Amino acid sequence: MFKANLHIKSLVKVIYLIILATVFWGQPASAQTKEVVAEKGDGIFRLLKRYGLPAADYMQDFITLNKDALGKDNTLIAGAKYKLPDTANTVSDVPDQPVAAKTGLRTERHEIFGKKYENVVIESEQLKGAVYYLMSGHGGPDPGALGKYNNHLVAEDEYAYDVTLRLARNLISEGATVYMITIDPNDGIRDDSYLKVDKDEVCYPRLTIPLNQIKRLNQRSDAVNKLYVKNKGAFQRMVAIHVDSRSRAENIDVFFYHDKRSETGEKAAKILQQTFARKYQEHQPGRGYGGTVSERNLYVVKNTYPPAVYIELGNVNHQRDIQRLIISANRQALANWLYEGLVQDFKTNK
Ligand SMILES: [Zn+2]
C-alpha cells in the first residue's frame, strides 16, 4: 500500500516534469538567446569566459550560431553583436577534445602557466611582431613587501607573479612574443586565494637570483637588454609589475611609472592608465579611480633598453588591497585590463 502510494506520487512528479519540459523546450530557441557585444580585443574564448560559458563546451555552438558575424579565422569584430549559446539547449556530452581541434585555432603549450592553463589557444595574431619582457617584482630570496591577511602571510612577489603570468598568457594568445624575466619553474597560474610563499624563482633564462638588491636588479635588466639586442628592430616593451607602494601611505589604485627620458614609455603608461580609468568607470561606476602616470627614477626602468612601464597594482601591506588581490578573478581582471592597454599601445605606437 505504502509502496504503491509512492509509485503514484513519483508518476505524478514525472508527468509534471514532462509538462514543464514541454512548456520550456517548446519555446523557439531565439526567445532565449542572449545577444552580447564584443569588446575590443575579444576572442571567442574570452567572450564566452566573460559570460561564464566554458569554451570547451560552447565554442562550437557559438561559431555555428554566429557564422555570418565572424571575421577571418573566426575572430570577433569589436562592437558587433553576437548570440550566446543557450545553456539549456547545449548538449553537454560533447566529447572532451581540445578546443582548437574543434575550431581550427592553433594552440601552444607553455608549461610555465601550469597544468590547468598550459594550453594556450592562439585567438588572433593582432600582436604579431610585438615583444614583451614581463618583469614580475622581487622573487628568489626576496619576497618583496609582506602583508598578513586572515593569519596568512601574503608576499608581494607571489601575487605580482600570478598577475604577470596571466598577462603573459593573454599576450601570447594574441600572437605576441613574451619573455617572463622572473620565472617560477613550478608555480603556474594559481586560482588559490593564498599563494604559497616560496623562494625558487629564477631570472631568465635560469639564473639564481642574488639577494643583493643592486645585483638582483642588474641581473634582470641585463637579461632584458640581451634579448632586446637579439630582437632589435621589433616593437618591444618592458613591463615591471609590483604590488607595493613606496610613495603613498594608503594606496588602493593602480599606478603607472615611466622613465623621464622615455617619451614612448610615457605614451604607453598613459594608454594603460586611461584603459584602467575607462574600465573602472565601466565596471565600478562611482568608485572613482585616482591612479596616475608619473616619472620615477627606478633602476630597472632606467637601465633597460626597451620603452618601459612600471606598474604598482596595489600594496600587500594594506588590507583593502589584499582583499582585492586574494580573489583570483580580480587578478585576472587586472591582467585583462593591462593586456587591453598594451594592445592599444601596440596599435597606436607601432
Ligand atoms: Zn615591489
Q: Please report the pLDDT score of residue 92 as a whole number.
A: 43
CATH number of 34-90+97-104: 3.10.350
| Range name among 284-293, 296-305, 306-315 with the lowest pLDDT average | 284-293
Q: Measured in angstroms, how far is the CA atom of residue 245 from the centroid of ligand 1?
A: 7
Q: Measured in angstroms, how far is the CA atom of residue 195 from the centroid of ligand 1?
A: 16
208 residue type, one letter? T
Q: Measured in angstroms, how far is the CA atom of residue 139 from the centroid of ligand 1?
A: 10
Q: Measured in angstroms, how far is the CA atom of residue 243 from the centroid of ligand 1?
A: 6
All cell numbers assigned to 130: 610585438
Query: Within 76-184, where are the H helices?
Result: 99-103, 156-172
Q: Measured in angstroms, how far is the CA atom of residue 242 from the centroid of ligand 1?
A: 5
Q: Measured in angstroms, how far is the CA atom of residue 300 from the centroid of ligand 1?
A: 12
Q: Please report the pLDDT score of residue 88 as a whole number.
A: 56
Asked if residue 12 has pLDDT above 70, the reply is no
Query: Within the chain, where are the H helices?
Result: 2-25, 44-50, 55-66, 99-103, 156-172, 213-230, 263-283, 299-302, 319-325, 328-349
Superfamily of domain 106-349: Zn-dependent exopeptidases (3.40.630.40)
Q: Please report the pLDDT score of residue 159 as a whole number.
A: 98
Residues in the chain: 350
Q: Measured in angstroms, how far is the CA atom of residue 145 from the centroid of ligand 1?
A: 6
Q: What is the mean pLDDT of the chain?
A: 87
250: burial class by Cβ within 10 Å (0-12, 13-18, 19+)? Answer: exposed
Q: Please report the pLDDT score of residue 31 as a whole number.
A: 45
13-63 pLDDT, tens digit per residue, is 655 655 555 444 444 444 457 888 888 888 887 888 777 777 767 777 878
Per-domain residue ranges of the chain: 1-31, 34-90+97-104, 106-349
Q: Measured in angstroms, how far is the CA atom of residue 268 from the centroid of ligand 1?
A: 20
229-274 pLDDT, tens digit per residue, is 999 999 999 999 999 876 555 656 899 999 999 999 999 999 999 9
Has this prediction a pTM greater than 0.85? no
Which one is predicted more confidently, 261 or 92?
Answer: 261
Q: Measured in angstroms, how far is the CA atom of residue 131 from the centroid of ligand 1?
A: 23
